[in-house]
Amino acid sequence: EAALYFDKAQARAYKVDAESGLNIRTGAGTNKKSMGVLKNGTTVRCYGYYNKVGKTIWLYVAVNGITGYVCKDWLK
């Protein structure tokens, strides 16, 4: 799924802040297929691209050679 938005302010490294892990998905939203679960504390890199589902921001991130979407609410 292509990112529809870009904001340079979103571009940086984030850490997963979810005790049970965080799904990295093929697209923005919980209804999109999970490509795996990122462990709590995993560092992901966002280059500023993202999508929105309602008011929720889903960042397009890269981690360990995989790119996909994660919910920004679970990143710090």
Query: What are the pLDDT digits (tens) for 2-47?
Result: 999 999 999 999 999 999 999 999 999 999 999 999 999 999 999 9
pLDDT of 28 reads 98
Q: How many CA atoms lie within 13 A of 20 on its CB side?
A: 1
Q: Which long-range contacts (CB under 8 A, 24 or more apart) does 50-58 make?
A: 50/3, 50/5, 50/6, 50/7, 50/10, 51/1, 51/3, 51/4, 51/5, 51/27, 52/4, 52/5, 52/28, 53/28, 53/29, 57/10, 58/25, 58/28, 58/29
